[in-house]
Amino acid sequence: MAQSLRCTGCVPPGFVVIEATDAGLAVQITVRSTAAFSPCPVCGGHSFRVHSQYQRLLLDLPLAGRNVHLHLQARRFHCDVPTCRRRIFAERFDPDVLKPWAQRTARLDDVVHHLGLALGGRPAGQLARHLMVPITKDTPLRTMRRHGRPAFLPPSAIGIDDWAWRRNQRYGTLICDLDRHRTIALLPNREPASAEEWLLDQPQIAIVARDRSGAYAQAASNALPHAVRVADRWHLMENASHAFLDAVHKPMRQIRAAIGAATVDPALLTAAERIQYEGYLRREETNGAILALAKEGVAIKEIVRRTVNRHGIRTPYRG
């Protein structure tokens, strides 16, 4: 049976509670606006003359682990401005509290927006249901599109590199703001002309971190001759790694022998490594036997017959 509740402090600002009932799985709160007038959405004039009332059903932040349904008694007003083309309009509220045509309060919509930014679509929808916010997996995505991207702040230090739309087939250019650690531009290709055109619109850039490609170096040199061009951290490590490998490639056999890397202790191997190591030993033994027979001038068919008999090698079937 529904019970009466006192939820005056739970509703968004600008509303007053008329009635609140506990319906078991949800809390139903009937509210109305405390404003005496409403601005016209076309001309902006304030109207005090009420035309009629209607009810809006809204979702709000959960209360004590239960959904909150707001039954808003909204009003329609007459617009008395003679030059306005709108004669009757629905009541407007503070956008920070409730947006036109919204089915959720602004504070609940903000929670859904941040869930979408943090988790994406499906994970955000699953977590929201645990938080008693009944939404689908598409709701966070729609909310993020509606909120749009944050305002673009001109960067002073950028990183530029290529990225794959489809590996080995189509590549683009990725530009990051190194101060804010976020991607600010995705170019459709990695041509120097495209990068140069984008850089020409950002003359305030003082530092350009790039890869070892000469294309981006040329674009940065033409568009930002005053900027300092440096190699980014990943490519510095990549360069150092290549230099080290080139230095130790030729004496690698002697280095392994000196540090004992060629010696394998079977007692220290795992079960999977032991199986792999035993297979390696069998192959080495078979290869040694084949090479010894070949040095003695034994025919290939005879080598196959002897090695199959001795080592159990299976020759491929030839139909």
Other residues' Cβ atoms within 10 Å of the Cβ of residue 139 = 21
The 10s digit of each residue's pLDDT in 96-145 is 899 888 899 999 999 999 999 888 889 998 998 888 888 888 999 898 88
pLDDT band at 37 (very low <50, low <70, confident <90, very high): very high
Task: Give the mean model confidence (pLDDT) for residues 142-155.
Answer: 83
User: Tokens 């673009």 belong to which residue?
Assistant: 152
Closest by CA position to 234, among listed 165, 186, 163: 163
Distance CA 60, CA 307 (A): 79
A 10 A CB-CB count for 124 gives 25
More confident residue, 216 or 259: 216
Write down the H helix ranges in 52-105. none
| Residue in this structure with the two tokens 């033994």, named with its chain if needed | 285
Distance of CA 74 to the CA centre of its chain: 39
Are 90 and 74 in contact, with CB atoms under 8 Å apart?
yes
**Are 87 and 99 in contact, with CB atoms under 8 Å apart?**
no
Q: Residue 269: is its pLDDT beyond 60? A: yes
Indicate the SS3 state at residue 39.
strand
Predicted confidence at residue 2, as pLDDT, reads 52
pLDDT digit string, tens, across residues 81-92 = 999 999 999 999
Q: At what angle do helices 106-119 and 122-130 cross, to 10 degrees?
A: 130
More confident residue, 269 or 105: 105
Alpha-carbon distance of 215 to 245, in angstroms, equals 26
